[in-house]
Amino acid sequence: MKTSIATVSISGELPDKLAAIAAAGFDGVEIFENDFLAFDGSPADVGRMVRDHGLEITLFQPFRDFEGMPEPHRSRTFDRAERKFDVMQQLGTELLLVCSNVSPISLGGIDRAAADFHELGARAARRGLKVGFEALAWGRHINDHRDAWEIVRRAGHPNIGLILDSFHTLSRKIEVNSIRSIPKEKIFIVQLADAPLIDMDLLYWSRHFRNMPGEGDLPVTEFTRAIAETGYDGYFSLEIFNDQFRGGAAKPIAADGHRSLIYLGDQVRRHPHAGSLSVKPMPERAPVQRVGFVEFAAADEDAAALTAILKTLGFRKTATHRSKQVDLYQQGDIRILVNTDENGFASSSYAVHGSSAYALALVVDDARQAMERALALDAEPFIQPVAKGEVELPAIRGVGGGLLYLLDDKSDLGRIWEIDFEPSGDEGDGVEEAGLRSVDHVAQTVAYEEMPTWLLFYTSIFAAEKTPMVDIIDPAGVVRSQVVENAAGTLRLTLNGAENRRTLAGHFIAETFGSGVQHLAFGTDDIFATAAALRRNGFHPLHISPNYYDDVEARFGLDPEMTERLRAENILYDRDEHGEFFQLYSPTYGEGFFFEIVERRQYCGYGAANAIFRIAALRKHLRPEGLPKITG
């Protein structure tokens, strides 16, 4: 599978774009005319620059409003085309993209358009060039790839072919099976883009909301599979018009693009009718069994405050690392590491971000295979020296530059607690276990623009799906939330995207200098028993406004006795079509980190309806001078 991306997809000036595209590992690049026009250099300079990066120019585009023009416009379009052919020859590319005509003066008729293309084909052939026709979803007469294909077929010229673009086909819900019968040599290139499902004008949707395959909701895999079935094995080229991408950093966006194509190729390859696509095999998406541990980097008073909270939550220190200053706190299946070592990555992370949950470990079926897949998908490996006899944990860089460790139960990785740790004599300082059994979910806060990056990261490496985005209302703005979860519920990650720094989420990333784990939710089987045990441990839950309880009682028709119990323990309540949900929160710790305790009675969500109330309450606990102002 040869990979390409259009220059329009990423931010910056042409040289920056090309550098980012080459660094991400693409084989080719589509030169968007405007990027070329804005560049102060000759077409030959651009061609040289591209080739110096080891890239090939896959096409030059777009050539607009060509087919079906009445005279005298018709003659002029041919003159225009000849000028573009000049540029292409100097650039060193052989393919021109012609997108379907949107001009109100253009005339319809398949044969008229076919005749125009036949003539253009003859002119292109004289220069050794080729022309591909693409149906824009909003083209005046041609807005369906089936019609574009019929024009190309009737044009009957070897230098005229079809360009398929997943957005135009899928946004109009055009049957992808219609692609399977197109001869592969007539498909000159394939453009790919995904998009979130939003009901809006096609042109606006296309020009502002496209995203990388796998980041949106369109069936891009089925589209690609239909193409693979034709036997096509040419370039797959990303063409992503996206406001955030235009404003973001070029390198990570280009890297996401490359990852999205590798992931897409892998999904197509796994299908029994994979066709001809040449894709390097890799292990399948890693099934996640549970969260193995969460590791905090901390020092001094921060560490003392954290361990104090852990104790009120019923955690006991059960072991200490043999060679590093790392303590293990445990309750049920939950393992929390507190790393106060002055050397190593945790300490650098502490220096940058302050006290934070900088590392997360996922237990997968086979950590070696998961690592192999992650690396095939361009993940950045993390290697830290270990003392002799200790276990080397495979890890990759994750959200906010933190670490994602991969563990399994089948290798020595499953014995890390015996091998690397020494049981500590600590009997718990009179701490009462609170019935916390497992990590229910891990909530990571990222800048809004980074959400697609991390959704793609998790869903491409691990066997998990993303849920639709929901809006969480913070008194100071909106936070967008999207979940990555598996069917078994053994992996639940919520990603919260902060658009401004005045929200609790925005404050967290501003003050900790980056994205990261903002809250950890633990599951219990009996939230009322847990609440009572926590109280005896000296835990002070987040205080919830009494008004909330009157509303909840009315909304769900709760028994007043139940409402009273909820109110007394500051427990939030929700219900979905599957069952009931109970939530209890800690106040914030540091710059907005907090703990949550949940009881699920078959409930599948995350209590989004309650978020506004707990955010309002949590904001009160930030240190006063650090409190994000709602206005200003």
Ligand X SMILES: O=C(O)c1ccc(O)c(O)c1
List residues binding Mg ion (CB under 5 A).
165, 191, 239
Contact partners, residue 453, CB within 8 Å, separation at least 6 = 252, 256, 446
Q: Are 170 and 192 in contact (CB under 8 A)?
A: no
Q: Are 455 and 495 in contact (CB under 8 A)?
A: yes
Q: Are 601 and 571 in contact (CB under 8 A)?
A: no
Q: Is 35 annotated as a binding residue?
A: no
Contact partners, residue 506, CB within 8 Å, separation at least 6 = 476, 477, 479, 498, 499, 500, 628
Contact partners, residue 618, CB within 8 Å, separation at least 6 = 504, 542, 585, 587, 588, 592, 594
Q: Is 134 annotated as a binding residue?
A: yes
Count Cβ atoms below 10 Å from residue 441 Cβ, excluding itself: 22
Q: How far is the CB of 5 from ligand X (least distance, A)?
A: 13
Nearer to ligand X, 207 or 270 (CB): 207
Q: How far is the CB of 43 from ligand X (least distance, A)?
A: 19
Residues forming the site for ligand X (CB under 6 A): 61-62, 97, 99, 134, 136, 165, 191, 206-207, 239
Q: Is 239 annotated as a binding residue?
A: yes
Q: How far is the CB of 66 from ligand X (least distance, A)?
A: 12
Q: Which does 106 bind (CB under 5 to 8 A by kind): ligand X, Mg ion, none?
A: none
Q: Is 519 annotated as a binding residue?
A: yes
Count Cβ atoms below 10 Å from residue 533 Cβ, excluding itself: 21
CA angle 163, 165, 167 (to 5 degrees): 160
Nearer to ligand X, 21 or 334 (CB): 21
Q: How far is the CB of 99 from ligand X (least distance, A)?
A: 5
Nearer to ligand X, 130 or 502 (CB): 130
Nearer to ligand X, 164 or 363 (CB): 164
Q: How far is the CB of 17 from ligand X (least distance, A)?
A: 17
Q: Is 621 annotated as a binding residue?
A: no
Distances (CA, A) of 90 to 14, 63, 519: 17, 17, 55
Count Cβ atoms below 10 Å from residue 95 Cβ, excluding itself: 22
Nearer to ligand X, 190 or 416 (CB): 190
Nearer to ligand X, 165 or 449 (CB): 165
Q: Which does 212 bind (CB under 5 to 8 A by kind): ligand X, Mg ion, none?
A: none
CA distance 583 to 479: 19
Residues linked to residue 442 through DSSP beta bridges, in sequence order = 493, 520
Of 114, 111, 106, 105, which is closest to residue 133 (Cα–Cα)?
114
Q: How far is the CB of 553 from ligand X (least distance, A)?
A: 52
Q: Which does 257 bind (CB under 5 to 8 A by kind): Mg ion, ligand X, none?
A: none
Q: Which does 206 bind (CB under 5 to 8 A by kind): ligand X, Mg ion, none?
A: ligand X
Q: How far is the CB of 439 from ligand X (least distance, A)?
A: 43
Q: How far is the CB of 158 from ligand X (least distance, A)?
A: 22
**Position closest to Mg ion via CB:** 165
Q: Which does 121 bind (CB under 5 to 8 A by kind): ligand X, Mg ion, none?
A: none
Residues linked to residue 238 through DSSP beta bridges, in sequence order = 5, 192
Find where tokens 């079509």 sit.
577
Nearer to ligand X, 134 or 420 (CB): 134
Q: How far is the CB of 372 from ligand X (least distance, A)?
A: 35
Q: Which does 444 bind (CB under 5 to 8 A by kind): ligand X, Mg ion, none?
A: none
Residue 541 amino acid letter:
P
- Could you tell me the two tokens for 364? 């997968």
**Position closest to ligand X via CB:** 62
CA distance 406 to 245: 30
In the chain, DSSP finds a helix count (H) and a strand count (E) of: 21, 26
Nearer to Mg ion, 239 or 553 (CB): 239
Q: Which does 136 bind (CB under 5 to 8 A by kind): ligand X, Mg ion, none?
A: ligand X
Residues linked to residue 498 through DSSP beta bridges, in sequence order = 447, 479
Nearer to ligand X, 97 or 338 (CB): 97
Q: Is 450 annotated as a binding residue?
A: no
Report CA 563 to chain centroid distance, whole Å. Answer: 39
Continuous segment of H or E residues that includes residue 457:
helix 451-461
Q: Which does 207 bind (CB under 5 to 8 A by kind): ligand X, Mg ion, none?
A: ligand X
Q: Are 139 and 101 in contact (CB under 8 A)?
A: yes
422-427-433-439 Cα dihedral, nearest 10 degrees: -10
- Could you tell me the two tokens for 172? 């109009």
Nearer to ligand X, 93 or 191 (CB): 191
Q: How far is the CB of 102 from ligand X (least distance, A)?
A: 8
Residues linked to residue 337 through DSSP beta bridges, in sequence order = 295, 328
CA distance 49 to 36: 12
User: Could you tell me which residues are annotated as the binding site?
Assistant: 134, 165, 191, 239, 441, 519, 596
**Annotated binding residues for Mg(2+):** 441, 519, 596
Binding annotation for a divalent metal cation:
134, 165, 191, 239
